Chains A and B, each alone.
Chain A
Amino acid sequence: MKDSKNQTAVAGNKGDRVRSDCHAELEITGSSGLQISIDSKVKVMYGNAIHKQIVEILDFFGISHAVLHLTDSGALPFVIAARVEAVIKKLVETEKEFLPELIPENKYQTNKDRFRFSRLYLPGNTPNLMINAGIHKPDGIILDLEDAVAPDKKFEAGFVVRNALRQIDFYGAERMVRINQVPRGLYDLDIIVPSNVNLILIPKCEGKDHVIKVNERIEKIKKEKGINGDIWLMPIIESALGVMRAFEIATAADNITSIAIGLEDYTADLGTRRTQEGTESFFARSMVVNAARAAGIQPIDSVFSDISDMEALKQNVLASKALGFDGMGCIHPRQIRVIHENFAPDDAEIEKAKKIVSAFIEATEKGLGVVSLGSKMIDAPVVKRAEKTVNLAISLGKLSKEWRTEMMKEVPREKIKVKSKK
């Protein structure tokens, strides 16, 4: 199709139910200049701006003779840009990219061991769901190029995801992209790595070579584009083979923060069905938890797909936490709070963590090398975990920032006894 004259192409979505999106139809012609027509519900307010934007993009790609019709359902500029670029690139072979500004709010990096209780899946070709995703405060947002995008829409979805990474303020959520399965997913990296993605999810990961290939590609792009900063990986295990190789995958690279399990595909692979009780996936989930813990990374659970049943979700989260998971995916913003509240440490856990952290601070103040609480010695990882629990409780509003001062007032000194070992 490429390079042929008078071919037409389309990209995007239109129709009564479509919101904050647009649909572009392009025909490259031999002569007669640019003919641009716009049918938009916001034409009165933005008709001129949209026209100007389209001309600018066509000009950027050196197109001077074309017929372009845009059907606009109130798309934001980054969406219009993505749709127009996609429709051009369906007809014209070019290395050029029309990159919207990477807004300063989006230039942040994330830490490897940050909390990843919730990560919200957003279909990569549905921009209206992305725009307000951040205000619901998930720990991470996943712009999905894989299963949530129909095969014939994958090409155009890439531009939407890239532009979303550059232009949408996700208010501090970790900015994740689920690429397609390797090897196809490797090409997705070309378009998203230069747009400050924080974490890549590798779907249907079945061995360390997937991880290594992804990392090689990332390094190559970083070098070419002169990009610094960490890009983390979260392989998703979705097959029997992947489960058997969970530890190999978990230890395949230093920039792996976590491994997740995807149960829909896994149960299909086993030849069984996913049930509410989850007996069929007990082995796989435990395997993933074990592998992650052994590798010192976070085990992350699958999504819970009934978005109307918050009580069942809560039970699912509690079961997940009891198995040892550190977080799970969500497919609707309403699930975020339930996931946070139930993955969050409960009162008993917070109390214990406070005592440990307090003992540690006191030991440090006294210059003691080893911390113990009562008669029990406390190892460094336990202290670290307790610190995380305390910080988390503070960030969730379950604990005052001044907790230690308050604790010292309440608790008699002898209860927090600090002894040196031997």
Chain B
Amino acid sequence: MVKYDKLVKNAAGRLVPTIVNGIEQIPYLGVGKFKPTGRKSAPPIASCADYPDDGNKTVPTLKDALVKAGLKDGMTISTHHHFRNGDLIANQIFDIAHELGIKNLRWFPSASFPCHEYLIKYLEDGTINRIEGSMNGPLGKFTSQGKMKGLGVLRSHGGRYQAVQDGEVHIDIAVIAAPTSDPFGNANGVNGPAACGLLGFALADSQYADKVIIITDNLVPFPCIPWQIHGNYVDYVVKVDQVGLPEKIISGTTQITKSPDRLLIAELTAKFCDEAGIIRNGFSYQAGAGGTALSIGIYFSEILKERGWKARFIRAGSNQYPVKMLEEGLVEYILDGQTFDLEGVRSMRENPGHVNTSPFTSYNYHGKGNFATQVDVVILGATEVDVNFNANVVTHSDGLLLHGIGGWQNCLFSKCTILPVPLFRDRMPVIRDEVTTLCGPGELIDVIITERGIAINPLRKDLIEKLKGSNLPIKTIQKLKEEAERICGVPEKPQFTDEVVAVIKWVDGTIIDSVWRVKEEGR
């Protein structure tokens, strides 16, 4: 299998392979330019005659389930990150595969976390050929150093659904860790000792994988209600003692920031949205789990409360703060893709206005619409932004791959996309001449807000017009870049070899950029 081949310059001017892990690829053509043809992928037709009439699909162990599912060399195994850093299952799967002497697996997680550093040994010994998903921290570094056997592929949450739906990625075995399930395989994330909220990231896998295994520590008699995952898609159910560590779904970034600098950026962002007329009765927004984003949500809620307004919906990553707004009547709905704390889990269980969603409903680019485009404003992060408003979320300025894309690319389609970022981190300027890795095209990124000034994308003449005469520190993005470089000095670019180690998919499955192998330290 060819790791990658036939590099071409795509529409963003980035050099990308057109063959990745033996499969032909389409280079990025521009926003909305690639029009897919053909029909969606589909799993094999099953017959209920092959499944027990009593509805009991339980098997004793995960190993039994994997063996029955036909685990063999070269297969694609998917897992999900509903437990975030508290996932206990992915590592076990590859322990089993290793024990069975199976090689060359493609791991297709919806995201990876620091707890998966454990898998490096299986990437080294060939049990796992490659990761197609996010590569965080140590896994990213491993990839950047060119050590992964296959080529890494990074997709957004919506892109992952699209890839499965379009048949770009065929999942052989999906293993879905579920906080509650019945023996038939109906499952949810809201109940049970390891409740994590919802199981939206596993929706595509349940629908399209050849074999689907549910693994749970809370087996209830049929029916498991609500059934976020339908048992009709499920082959086997495994009961274990512990399926995940729910306390670890809370990460350090789910608290409001105490940093005065970030609070200032949050406040500027809220003021900007207010002056731009974005905040109004019935508006909608998405604010992620970062400390700055959460603080912006607090400012939004204060404005709503003061004026007696209500937001129509919050697109979330939910945690205690949007939940509080929902309970105080400051917002009518939370459309939730991922719960970030146990308050979010509780609210989703109790409150009909707190709705579970999947990447299909909110992010899939190859659907008949998706509601990312209807959100009035989204607040996102970035490791780098360039003077053309292009942004990077996966690599750092030293060239190392360290983060996944998450729903970031998908959110760019909102009516107004704002990146509140510090002008520099320690000595690292955030605004560059050119991003190290292109993840989001500048035409979709509207405003950059830093502690030292706000830059509006020149394409957004409407916003520029609205902010005329404002007391906010509106500057050009070049001016902001110069300010940072005056303080930090002009940074050198990272040194790469000519070897590609991973590709970045755009939301439509085309390749928007390559991640290159870093040169080992010279001096």
Give the B-binding residues of A (Cβ under 8 A): 19-20, 38, 41-49, 51, 73-77, 128, 131-132, 135-136, 332-334
Contact = CB atoms under 8 A, between A and B. Distances in A.
Interface of B: 260-261, 263-264, 397-399, 425-428, 451-452, 487-489, 491-492, 494-495, 521, 523
Contacts of B495: 44
B263 A334 contact: yes
Nearest to A45: B491
A45 B397 contact: yes
A74 B426 contact: yes
Contact of A46 (B264, B399, B452, B489): B489
Given A20-B427, A74-B427, 18 more contacts: A19-B426, A38-B523, A42-B398, A42-B427, A42-B491, A43-B398, A44-B495, A45-B398, A45-B491, A45-B492, A46-B492, A48-B492, A51-B523, A74-B426, A75-B426, A75-B427, A128-B426, A135-B452
Contact of A42 (B260, B426, B452, B487): B426
A77 B494 CA distance: 20
Contacts of A41: 426
Nearest to A169: B487
A333 B523 contact: no
Nearest to A335: B260
A45 B490 CA distance: 8
Nearest to A77: B489
Given A42-B426, A135-B261, A136-B260, A47 B494 contact: no
A95 B20 CA distance: 64
Nearest to A37: B523
Q: Is the interface of B mostly helix, strand, loop or mixed?
A: loop
B491 A46 contact: yes
Contacts of B264: 135-136
B406 to A, nearest CB: 24
A417 B426 CA distance: 59
Nearest to B397: A45
- The interface centre, meaning the residue of B397, B452, B487 with most chain A CB atoms within 10 A of its CB, is B487
Nearest to A171: B452
A27 to B, nearest CB: 20
B260 A334 contact: yes
Contact of B489 (A49, A128, A333): A49
Contacts of B426: 19-20, 41-42, 73-75, 128
B83 to A, nearest CB: 27
The 10 closest A-B pairs by CB, nearest first: A74-B426, A45-B491, A333-B260, A44-B398, A74-B427, A42-B427, A132-B261, A20-B426, A44-B494, A135-B451
Contacts of B451: 132, 135
B260 A74 contact: no
A136 B425 CA distance: 17
A73 B494 CA distance: 18
A128 B261 CA distance: 12
Contacts of B397: 44-45
Nearest to A73: B426
Nearest to A38: B523
A392 B260 CA distance: 24
B494 to A, nearest CB: 5
A51 B523 CA distance: 10
Contacts of B452: 135
A135 B260 CA distance: 10
B92 to A, nearest CB: 31
Contacts of A132: 260-261, 451
A332 B260 contact: yes
B260 A45 contact: no
A38 B263 CA distance: 34
Nearest to B429: A45
A42 B428 contact: yes
Contacts of B521: 43
A41 B495 CA distance: 15
A20 B422 CA distance: 14
Nearest to A19: B426
B425 A74 contact: yes
18 contacts: A20-B426, A38-B523, A42-B428, A43-B398, A43-B521, A44-B399, A45-B397, A45-B492, A74-B428, A75-B427, A76-B427, A76-B487, A77-B489, A128-B426, A131-B487, A135-B451, A136-B260, A333-B261
Nearest to A53: B489
Contact of B428 (A38, A45, A131): A45
Nearest to A105: B486
A44 B264 CA distance: 30
Contacts of A75: 426-427
Nearest to B258: A334
B385 to A, nearest CB: 16
Contacts of B492: 44-49
Nearest to B523: A47
Contacts of B494: 44-45
Nearest to B399: A44
B112 to A, nearest CB: 23
B176 to A, nearest CB: 37
- The interface centre, meaning the residue of B263, B399, B427, B495 with most chain A CB atoms within 10 A of its CB, is B427
Contacts of A333: 260-261
Contacts of A42: 398, 426-428, 491
B352 to A, nearest CB: 36
Contacts of A136: 260, 264
A334 B427 CA distance: 24
Contact of B427 (A46, A48, A51, A332): A46
B469 to A, nearest CB: 14
A76 B264 CA distance: 22
A73 B495 CA distance: 21
Contacts of B487: 76, 131
A73 B428 CA distance: 11
Contacts of B263: 334
Contacts of A334: 260, 263
Nearest to B487: A76
Nearest to A41: B426
A48 B92 CA distance: 45
A19 B399 CA distance: 20
Contacts of B398: 42-45
Contacts of A43: 398, 521, 523
Contacts of A20: 426-427
A70 to B, nearest CB: 12
Nearest to A336: B260
B428 to A, nearest CB: 6
A49 B425 CA distance: 17
Nearest to B522: A47
